[in-house]
Each structure stands twice: as C-alpha cells, then as structure tokens.
Structure 1
C-alpha cells in the first residue's frame, strides 16, 4: 500500500516542531545573541598549499574595537581536531594545505571591525606545488601533504581467484564511473554562540550531530575538563552529515575563554563553501562478468576517493563504499581495492549516504550493462543474482536476516510504472515532438545502518516522571530537520498509550542527556525504538506500583493512558500524572544504555543491519536542450514497521531531492585547489520546480517473527538509489550510457533533425 495521508489514517500527525518552523518562530542556535557579545571571524588561507613564513597580527590587535587576535600560539591544548583521525590543525602553524585552512581568529565589537582586523593580519607564504588530482597525488614525485604520504587509507576485500573467475565468464563489462563533489547546502550555515560562565565553565550553543563528541574534542583543544564544557546542540537548520565534525566551535570557544565575553560566529555562505565539508568525489572502475546464463561470476573494483587535505572520516567513507560496491548481489570471485587520497582540494567528509551513493551508482550501472549484453530484462537479471534471506553480507559477515531484498524486488516487478517500461520498450518513442524522449529505469540497493564493526556505537536513553507530571524522554540525539522529535513522540504515544500533552522530549544538551551516540548512519530511529522497548516494562512497573498504592488497587489491574492512570477494564481516570508526581517517594526514573548491534566479525566497518530499497524513475529528455526532468518516482523500502508515516514519506522524498541534485546538477567545481563555486548563484540545487513529478513510496513493514531489532533507518537510503535509476532511464530514452555525474546537458543534446537532414 502506498504511503500517504489517507492510508495512514489517525497515525498521520503534525510534527511538534512544525508550527514553529512554518511561522518562523522557532529559534535556531545561530539565531541566539547576548547583549555584551562579540563577533568572531576566522582568517583562512589564500593558497591551497604553502609554507607559512610569518604571521603578523600587531596591526589587527591595535585596531579599536578588537578584543582578541589568536594564532596557534594561543591554543592551550591539542592544536588538532577530527572525529576519528585528529590531523586537522585548529590554527595552522607552519603550513596550509587548502584554501579553507585557518590561520588566525579575531573577536571584535561588530562584524565590520572583525573583518577589518582580518584584513590587517599579514601572512607571508612560501607557495608550494599542489596535489589536486588524486591519481597524480599517489605518484612518488607528487608533493606530499603528510609525513605518511598521500595514501590516507587503503581497503581491500577478496574472495576466490579473480583471474580464474574472469576466465570462465562469457560476458564481461568494464567501465569507469565518476561522481561529484556535492555540497550539503543546508539552509543554516555553520555557527554558534559561545558563552563563558561565571563559574569557569563554557557553554557552547552550536548545531552539531553529536554533542558529546564535540565536548571531547573541545576538551582536548582547550585543555579543559569535559565536565566544564556544556554543549547545547539542537535545534539544527539542516546537517546531512556536514555538522558531525567540528567547524567554528574551536574558534568561538578559544575567543570566549580569551576575552571572557560571549562570542557569536556564523559563517557566510561563501565561507561555508570554502571551509565546509563536501561529498567525496570518487573514480570507481569496475570489471564485472557473468556466465552464459547470466549468473555473476567475477567482480573487480578499484575506488579512488578524494578526501582533501585532512582525514575527517575519509577512511570510514571508503570502508563503506568498499562494502557497498559489492552490494546486494552474489559473486563467486571478488577483488575490491580502494584508496582514499590526500589532496589540496576542499575538505571531503560525512554526507548522507556515506559513500553508498557513489558505490551504488557504479554498481547498478554495471548491472544495467550486463543485462543489456545478455538481452535480459534488467529486473529479472537482478533477481537471478541477488542475495537470499539466509545469505551473509557483502563481506561474508553474519547479518540480521530479513526478506527485504525479495520484498522490494517483487514490489518493483509488479508496480505499474515498471510495467510501463516494458510497453515503452516494445512500442518505441511515440512523442508528437521528436526531440522529446521518455525513459524508465530502476535501481536496487542494500544500505548498512550504524557505524559498523570496530567503531564505538553507543545508544540508550532515559524516561522519568517530572515534578509537574510530564513524562520526560531524555535522549542524546539531535533534531536537524529529519523529524526525530515527532518520531520519538509517536513511539511514546503508541507504545505507552500516552497523549502528546503528557510528554516532554529533552535532547541536545550534554548537561542533561545521556550519550546516545551520534545522530548519523541511519541509526537514531532504530535505537530510540530499541531503547523504549528496554525501558517500557521497568518504567511502567514503577509508575503502576506507585499508582496502585494511591488508588488502592492492584497494579496488575492498572494501565498507563492518555492523561494518567486508568483501570485496564475501565475508562474513568483514576490519577493524573501530576498527582502521581506529587506523591512522596523515590523518583521514578529508568535509564538504559547499550551498543548498536554489530556483526560477529573482525572486518572493520562491516554492518549487521541493512535497509533494502529500490526505485523506478521515469524521465523526460529534451534532446534540443539536454534537459532531463524526472516525471515520476516509485520507491519500495523494506525498513520494518513505519513509526512515523509523515516522517517516513518526508525522508524518502527529501532524499530523492538530494539525489536529483547529485545526478543532474550539483558539483562544487575546483580549479588548481580553488573553488569556482563561491555561492548559490553558481551552485544549483533542486527546487520545487525540479521535483514537480509524482513521488510514490511503498513501505514494506514485514520483519521475521524472531526479529528483535525493530524499524530500520531510512535517513539515507532515499538518496542512494535514484541516481542509477535516472541513468538507466536516460539510457532507454537516448541510447547513451551515463558514467559521470552530474549529467551534462551537452552530452545529451542532439542536432535537430532539420539540421542533420541531407
């Protein structure tokens, strides 16, 4: 059944933070201010690669209205940050490696004075040769960005004998695929308010996906105990992975402690482009073979990923891509190799899909080509080769078994849009305008959730009865627009029988919440669901035990309900939650902590839980202009029970919009280490005009009876499969294979028939 308001019935709920967002009354952290605050700015490198000969700050310090000008000499602790690999300088000491590298930071009475002070700082550079091509950067004579060389991380996975496998293949396809440097383009750029407290503590109001990780990193930089730093991290005006890593936080924190005054920082769009993270551009070469019957026998892959000047999560993204270029298919022989390369290009990092988008674009391109070579219907070819319910994962690791692959395959095979493709194939193009052509394509994926084997992946939360009778759900997750608050509220309503008015949700404050891990990797919904499953019995037992003493009834005859306690067999309210809270006694409070489930394997990064998804896309191609418009999408998503119908639909639709940009328009182009794109006037993202087509979503909720893991995450999978589906649709419309994203209109243009006639 398609997911929409009508099919959801009473479960379709307006999200609690919706009115504030629609009216503009919701205050984001970058909207905050203090009366006596100063404004902070950062001086960034003019060059992508250079030695720093000298930095002179005297003129800037003497400017009236300037309160602090800081360099690396003013950092009391570690002059480096990075979630997994802290190798990025907070303030550069002797070398810059990209045009976003920070050299100094300034606090002043207003932005104009701060900008003037930045301009007065004199930096003398010794310009160095740049490494802006990842393949060239791997050569022995390339400029080396780090002592360990430019190969930041390598991966490999093999099975069988790849040469023997290809020797037995009847059909072999070899192709290279290229993916772009996509920007997160969140509406709220990086920023925050940094407040030194009278008791010596520091409060940081800054949007981030994991407040506890920020606190740990700032503790190292500031040489300050973690308990003396408070991170308030929600609400957030968009992130998509781009705010999981530190951005302005080190500079605001250093300036606040140095001046003793609150510091406001908020990146301009231009500075966000210059210093912010982007999706890893990848070059993926695949050689894939089948036997005469169409069974996959050998698959060889080489991935080259441009991670930019510092590690960020480049190793982890490459690990994920290595797993997902194998994907939902079975092969006898495998040889996968990858390398993440340091370059003097912009910073690459975490981005929705986490390497899966690049991997699946390439992998599904191979499946389309092989099906055509074999003269097989492309969806039937996938069915012949896809993993079955009891098969291990891509790295041969044990995984949580579901029928998701089969379920989404069947959904696509029977959907009207896919059946229309067959009719279009049989009848050919029928447009009254010969330059308008139509195509339909499909793609398939399995997408890992959680951080994977070998990476700490904490989860958990707390329920308690507050003094005013509110039932507080306290979690260390973040709300950055994905609907986490609405999803948690709906879980509490449906699992505990509560009303929305009974609930208070508390997130995003390290002084209050437990460490539930990062809000990333499609993990938050699954882990909140699991936490509530673990908390429901003990919390309910405590509540009913106290209610039984007050109501003089056996606890087993009572239940939690909307507004308070009722008898299981009766409607009248016996006690409100406020009355229950006023009763003397020990606080009613339950907490749980655990780790995201992982596979029992030693393969670092391997996943245990997967979401299966497939999409069909119908496109219209204007061969005069090369413009591609997506007319219709159908998504089948096997992710277990739908917790929040509106949120589920929004995630898939939103993910598809981001995938549309990845496929057809977005690329932060660089030239010799400098961004050609500086603002949104030269970087196009999809608007509502580009999403004018129908988007249908069919959730597949069935899970095996013994499944203990509940709903799977869908925050990323909606962005993963659309690119190869559009590419397949373009193939049907134009006869051209797509190997490079975004698709250039000039590649699809054809000379009009009246120019070619004769």
Structure 2
C-alpha cells in the first residue's frame, strides 16, 4: 500500500477524537478543575549534588492560603518510585542527586500563594562533588552516588572469538558515536487533578502510559490498597514515553489525602525540563571488520549510557540498545558490552525508540564506512550481510519470520530517489549548496521482550443502551489508538461507527492490558479482538436467534444490529437485543505479548522492518542541512488505520529530524543550559517541507497469526543514519556526533578563499 499525503490507495475516515482536538474542545487531564481545589507545587533542588543538612518549613506553613507543606517525614509508605527499580525518592531525606530532585511539596488556595510558600522553605545544603560524565562515573575512584555504586546496569552478548575474527578481516572500521539528551517536548506538560473521596478512595486524573503501574506505585507510597486508588489516564496531550513513569502523581496524591481537598498540578515548561525524563545520551564505540568479499566477520561494541541520578527504565533501555547495535546483520564473531551509569545530570528514561535510535545511528554508520572501503554500493553491501528469512534474531533467539527485511530493501533499491544518488549536480546550483542521497535500514523489536511482565487483553460487551463496548486498559495520547480500534471493530465485526463505544484508561472499569508503549498496543488490540470475535459473535447471534426463533447460522452481525445472512435486512437492533432477558453479553481475554522461548532478558520475538532513503541539501556557508525528500518503506503487516500509519511515520520522522539536526538539552556541570523552548530547537512544519513518501508493506507469510506489527517507534529510529549517509555523499564528511553541528559542515568556498588571498 502506498500512503501519500492525499491518502490515495486507502480508505480515510474522520478520527473519532479528531474534531474535538482540532477545535480545542477536548479537555485533557491537565485541563480539569474541581470546586474548591488547591494548587500544588514541588520545591526542587537547586544543586546537582548536595547533602541535606536541614529542612525548615515553618514559615511556609504559616504563609497565607497554605493548606499543607510536606517533606519526607510525611510519606506514609515507601519513599521511592520507579517502574522497575524504585530508587528515586518521592521527597529527598538526606541527599539530592540532580537539580530536579524533590525536597518538599506545597498545597495552597492559589497558585501565587503556593509559589510564595515555596520561597519560604529553607533548605541547608552541603555541596558535594558533581559527577557529570557517564564514562568518568564508571571509574573506581569517582564519587559514588548510590550505595551500590555508579553502575546501574551492565549487559552484553558475545559469540565466537574476536581474537580469531579480526585477524581475518581485510577492512576494519573503528569509530565512536555520540547521541544527544533529547526532550520529549510534548505540548501538555506533566500535571493532573487529585481528588480524595469521602469513602477514603483517591481518584487521580493524570497523564500516564500505564494506569495500573501508577496505581501499584502510588499504593506503595501511600500505604493504601490498590483498590482504593482510581487512575484515569486518558486523553493525554503527548507522551512519547516521557509520561510512562510517575512525575507529579506522588505529590498530588499526598497533598490531596493530607488536606482532604482536590489538588491540581501542572508543570511549567521549565519544571518539565528540569524534572522530566530525556532520551539517554550515549557514547557508542564500535570496531567492525569484513573479509575480502565484504562479509561481516567481527563486530565489537561498547555502549556507555548516561542514565542520570536514578534508575527508572535505564537498564531496559540499555538492553534494547545492546540488541539493536547487533541489528539486522549476521556476524561470525561478536562481542557487545553495555554500561548504564548514574550521574548528577538530568533524568534519562523512556523515549520513543527506547535506545534503538542511538544504536541504529552507530551501526548504520559502520555499514556505510565499510561499504566505502570496499568500493561497494552501500545498499548492496547491506543486502550481502542482511539476515535472511529463517535466520534467528540478534541474540540468536527464535523470532516471528517474515520477508520484511528483503521487502523494504527492495523498495529503496528500486526507488527513483535512490537511483538519483549518483546524479550530477545542477549546473546553476550555487557552489556552496551541495546535495546527497543516503539510506539506512533496521529491524525494530516490538513489545517489552523476554522476562519482563507484558500482559495483554481486553473486553467486549453489549451495554444496556445497545452500544458495543470495547474496553481496554490503554491510553490515547495522540497516536490514534481510538481510531485504530474503531476501524478494527468495523472491519472485523461489521459494526458501524455509531454502534461502538470505546472505553480506555480508567483502572476502575478496564482490564489490565499492559503498558501503552513499546509499539505494542495496536498489535495487542488486534490480537485481543481475534481471540474474542468468535465467542462474542456467537453470544450475540445466539441471543438474537433465540428471540427470533431462527437458526443462528442464518444470521450475521451488521451495522446497527443483527442481519439476515447474505442480505442487508436487519432483524433485530443491538439496542433491542440489549433489552432481552438473560445474562449480560460480554467476553474478556487475557494473554501475554508473544516472546521467544529463551532466557535472554529483553530479547524480542516480533520485529518491524524499515528502510529510509533521503535527499539532503547542505549549505556549506551556514552549515545548515535541509532534508528535501524522504522515502520510508515499512514492513509491519496489515495496515489497520491508514491515517494513523502515515501520521506515526511522519511524526516519528519529524522527531528524528530534531534528534539528528537540532535537539540537545545541553547540560554543564549538572545544570541545564537549555531551560525553555526558546533555546531548544524543535523542528516545525517548515522543517518538514520536503516530500515524505511512505510505502507500507502489508504482506505476511501464510499462517502468520501475529497480525499487525507496531509502527509507533520505527518511523523515528532510522532517519538519523540516513541523513548522516546523505551528508557524507554531499560533503565528504562523516558524522559521528548528533545533533550535527553547523560549524562541522561549514567551509569557505574556493572563490571566497581566492578573494581573501
């Protein structure tokens, strides 16, 4: 299927949540208010590393309008959070480890009164040495940030022997690649509304990608049963992984329960910058060698990731990066080691691509350099070394087999864009404008991988008003989940859009479908509907057949109600069916995201394959790069939602454009130099002015039961190395550090040099 901006080749529908979003009528969770609500703020550390000598809150407690001032002494349960490794203090007791660390929290009648109260809290600090470099953090004589040291996680994978492999190589490339601390920059910053109930329950309206995980963590912090906490987690104004972890939820919950009043939080952009998660900066050193025929023989990798002061999912991100620096290629000898280090820099954590962006930039850079040494077309070189149908995965694990790798390779190889890579520059082009074409390739794992709890499932039910309710524990944060689910129900069951009610993101009413992350939600909704379709359809048709005194096999589901088979005659509406006597019609399914039968933690079973070709224009006077054309080939199985598919790939590529060319949350000695969006350059629509063509490959092998693969991340992971390859073609310069510094590409044209001389 070819998906262009005009939607040709596909059926287009108005998104169910679209009109409210584009008109501004939709209320996001941070838009919510409650009568008599208080305003909450957090006092955060001014220092990247210090010992807390004392905290004095008396003046703040006496300030006008203040209803509560809390410190670590007021946390009734576990004073820590973190999805997998709860080591981040809710409120710091004796030490702060970054400039966003929370020390106290305040609730007041107005935001201005809360802001004033925060200034009255006096914290006496004893400054400590700052660890601001991940590599240095691993040295044995460095200040230790945690009792267990500065190493969060070490993982690796090896096969064969490098000592045997490298001597066989005729070409060896050694290079170190650096990637930036990228911000999620969602339009809706972190926040929420926290409402205590008269029955002792707490209702939390706050953006998150996993309401049940938030509930579990808050239960530990508040020392109250999970069933006493309700999390409403949708709709969300953007997340990209950044709201997968707790942020303001502990403070809003503590203050609401202490005061017995609703409390609202909504971070300013600066508060979001200093306290929120970022993409892990990584230093990736590679040594890769080939034989005379160009076959990869030996591959050695060392990854050092800056995870910041606390764990969150830093270990899991590193696991993913280790898998993806091996990637879609085959080697005889392999040795990969990854290290995630604690530092006093800002928090690193979950981000779209989950370590794949960094890994693929480095790996594809190696492939381009080796191809050039062989004097071989870089795309032909990739085909020579690519995993074939039937091959195992990067960790030698069994994987779901598809032809995706070759399919996306063929799209690029046969494209007009790739065929122009050797074209002669236009005669009338200014000498300082240079163009080049480059391409890159990847296989990107979906789901959380082996050894990590990854539940899935959902529920279908006929409501009393006749609506077909699809109930899932997922969240809508702009990715088009609601639209995709509606389309699946229409196409698989034959319902009309008006027959359907979608219920998501409310722990009181939805099953635990797992996290809305890791490119898993669409695939798991599809699989859930496949599992529920037959029994749910049987129950509906059976009830209708009984009431009409006809055989069930003479009926079918249709728009608005049950139809006679092979006709458009409705015999009973869903509303009428819902009024009949009998047990409620509903069916629920639960299962685990598919994984490989191996013990390797994090190993993936399902992959999406993607290849990207780009044409860039480099202005060597200014050093600026413009991406003129993009071609994305994506093999992910059947396209559920054409609009959503295109939006995900285009949106992901825009995020990747920033990762490659402009975005870096710069830090110096543990302090953010980039404090707001006036100095943090996010690509706008003007930067996406070139053509973006998306080719969706929908074919899956006969008998494949896994359905659509996830595409929420794959549009963001392959663009950077493709642009770097095109820059090489245009300027002859190898990019090793992102974002690309304009000064690196600047050069003085010959005619100007002669004028100077």
Name the TM-score class by shorter chain: over 0.9
Between the aligned partners of 1:431 and 1:52, the Cα distance in structure 2 is 66
SS of equivalent to 1:321:
helix
Are the structure 2 counterparts of residues 52 and 391 from structure 1 closer, same or farther at C-alpha, using a change threshold of 3 Å?
same
Q: Is the 8 A contact 1:460 1:514 kept in 2?
A: yes
2:507 is equivalent to residue 514 of structure 1: no
2:637 is equivalent to residue 631 of structure 1: no
User: 1:409 Cα deviation (Å)?
Assistant: 0.6
- The answer for the alignment partner of 1:662 in structure 2 is 659
2:442 is equivalent to residue 445 of structure 1: yes
> Where does structure 1 differ by over 2 angstroms across 4 or more consecutive aligned residues?
4-11, 427-432, 752-755
Q: Which residue of 562, 566, 572 maps to 1:575?
A: 572
Q: Is the 8 A contact 1:65 1:108 kept in 2?
A: yes
SS of equivalent to 2:194:
strand
Between the aligned partners of 1:4 and 1:555, the Cα distance in structure 2 is 43
Question: Which string of whole-angstrom CA distances, capped at 9 and with x for unpartnered residues, describes residues 434-473 of structure 1?
Answer: 1111010000000000000000000000000000000000
SS of equivalent to 1:33:
coil
User: Counterparts of 1:737-756 in structure 2 under 5 Å?
Assistant: 737-756=734-753
Question: Which string of whole-angstrom CA distances, capped at 9 and with x for unpartnered residues, describes residues 510-530 of structure 1?
Answer: 000000000000000000000
User: Counterparts of 1:248-397 in structure 2 under 5 Å?
Assistant: 248-397=248-397
- The answer for the alignment partner of 1:705 in structure 2 is 702
- The answer for the alignment partner of 2:610 in structure 1 is 613
SS of equivalent to 1:300:
strand
User: Counterparts of 1:392-541 in structure 2 under 5 Å?
Assistant: 392-422=392-422, 424=423, 427=424, 430-541=427-538
- The answer for the alignment partner of 1:84 in structure 2 is 84
User: 1:11 Cα deviation (Å)?
Assistant: 2.3
User: 1:568 Cα deviation (Å)?
Assistant: 1.0
User: 1:428 Cα deviation (Å)?
Assistant: 5.2
Range 9-18 or range 445-454, more displaced: 9-18
Q: Is the 8 A contact 1:5 1:646 kept in 2?
A: no
User: Counterparts of 1:577-596 in structure 2 under 5 Å?
Assistant: 577-596=574-593
SS of equivalent to 2:3:
coil
User: 1:607 Cα deviation (Å)?
Assistant: 0.3
Question: Which string of whole-angstrom CA distances, capped at 9 and with x for unpartnered residues, describes residues 385-418 of structure 1?
Answer: 0000100000000000111001111111001101
Q: Is the 8 A contact 2:2 2:8 kept in 1?
A: no
Between the aligned partners of 1:300 and 1:602, the Cα distance in structure 2 is 23
Between the aligned partners of 1:737 and 1:10, the Cα distance in structure 2 is 39
Question: Which string of whole-angstrom CA distances, capped at 9 and with x for unpartnered residues, describes residues 708-733 of structure 1?
Answer: 10000000000000000000000011
2:724 is equivalent to residue 727 of structure 1: yes
Range 9-18 or range 218-227, more displaced: 9-18
Between the aligned partners of 2:556 and 2:450, the Cα distance in structure 1 is 40
Q: Is the 8 A contact 1:564 1:577 kept in 2?
A: yes
Between the aligned partners of 1:272 and 1:743, the Cα distance in structure 2 is 25
User: 1:323 Cα deviation (Å)?
Assistant: 0.2
Between the aligned partners of 2:10 and 2:365, the Cα distance in structure 1 is 41
Segments of structure 1 that go 5 or more residues without pairing to the other structure are: none
Between the aligned partners of 2:162 and 2:498, the Cα distance in structure 1 is 61
- The answer for the alignment partner of 1:165 in structure 2 is 165
Segments of structure 2 that go 5 or more residues without pairing to the other structure are: none
Question: Which string of whole-angstrom CA distances, capped at 9 and with x for unpartnered residues, describes residues 502-545 of structure 1?
Answer: 00000010000000000000000000000000000000000000
2:570 is equivalent to residue 550 of structure 1: no
User: 1:302 Cα deviation (Å)?
Assistant: 0.2
User: 1:10 Cα deviation (Å)?
Assistant: 6.4
Question: Which string of whole-angstrom CA distances, capped at 9 and with x for unpartnered residues, describes residues 212-252 of structure 1?
Answer: 00000000000010000000000000000000000000000
Question: Which string of whole-angstrom CA distances, capped at 9 and with x for unpartnered residues, describes residues 360-385 of structure 1?
Answer: 00000000000000000000000000
- The answer for the alignment partner of 2:644 in structure 1 is 647
Between the aligned partners of 2:426 and 2:53, the Cα distance in structure 1 is 65
User: 1:2 Cα deviation (Å)?
Assistant: 1.8
Q: TM-score, normalised by structure 1?
A: 0.99
User: 1:163 Cα deviation (Å)?
Assistant: 1.5
SS of equivalent to 1:548:
helix
Q: Is the 8 A contact 1:465 1:581 kept in 2?
A: yes
Between the aligned partners of 1:528 and 1:570, the Cα distance in structure 2 is 29
Q: TM-score, normalised by structure 2?
A: 0.99
Between the aligned partners of 1:571 and 1:217, the Cα distance in structure 2 is 51
Between the aligned partners of 1:139 and 1:623, the Cα distance in structure 2 is 40
SS of equivalent to 1:532:
helix
2:103 is equivalent to residue 120 of structure 1: no
Between the aligned partners of 1:666 and 1:260, the Cα distance in structure 2 is 42
Q: Is the 8 A contact 1:653 1:695 kept in 2?
A: yes
Between the aligned partners of 1:264 and 1:431, the Cα distance in structure 2 is 60
Between the aligned partners of 1:219 and 1:84, the Cα distance in structure 2 is 15
Q: Is the 8 A contact 1:429 1:437 kept in 2?
A: no
User: 1:14 Cα deviation (Å)?
Assistant: 1.2
- The answer for the alignment partner of 2:30 in structure 1 is 30
User: 1:569 Cα deviation (Å)?
Assistant: 2.0
Between the aligned partners of 1:571 and 1:288, the Cα distance in structure 2 is 63
Cα root mean square deviation, aligned: 0.9
SS of equivalent to 2:634:
strand
Between the aligned partners of 1:659 and 1:177, the Cα distance in structure 2 is 16
Q: Is the 8 A contact 1:453 1:601 kept in 2?
A: yes
Between the aligned partners of 1:370 and 1:168, the Cα distance in structure 2 is 15
Q: Is the 8 A contact 2:3 2:10 kept in 1?
A: no
User: 1:754 Cα deviation (Å)?
Assistant: 2.8
Instruction: Tell me the number of residue pairs that the alignment of Structure 1 and Structure 2 aligns.
Output: 755
User: 1:631 Cα deviation (Å)?
Assistant: 0.5
User: 1:355 Cα deviation (Å)?
Assistant: 0.2
- The answer for the alignment partner of 2:713 in structure 1 is 716
Between the aligned partners of 1:454 and 1:571, the Cα distance in structure 2 is 49
Q: Is the 8 A contact 2:556 2:562 kept in 1?
A: yes
- The answer for the alignment partner of 1:200 in structure 2 is 200
Are the structure 2 counterparts of residues 385 and 10 from structure 1 closer, same or farther at C-alpha, using a change threshold of 3 Å?
closer
2:176 is equivalent to residue 179 of structure 1: no
Question: Which string of whole-angstrom CA distances, capped at 9 and with x for unpartnered residues, describes residues 172-200 of structure 1?
Answer: 00000000000000000000000001111
2:227 is equivalent to residue 227 of structure 1: yes
Question: Which string of whole-angstrom CA distances, capped at 9 and with x for unpartnered residues, describes residues 305-342 of structure 1?
Answer: 00000001110000000000000000000000010000
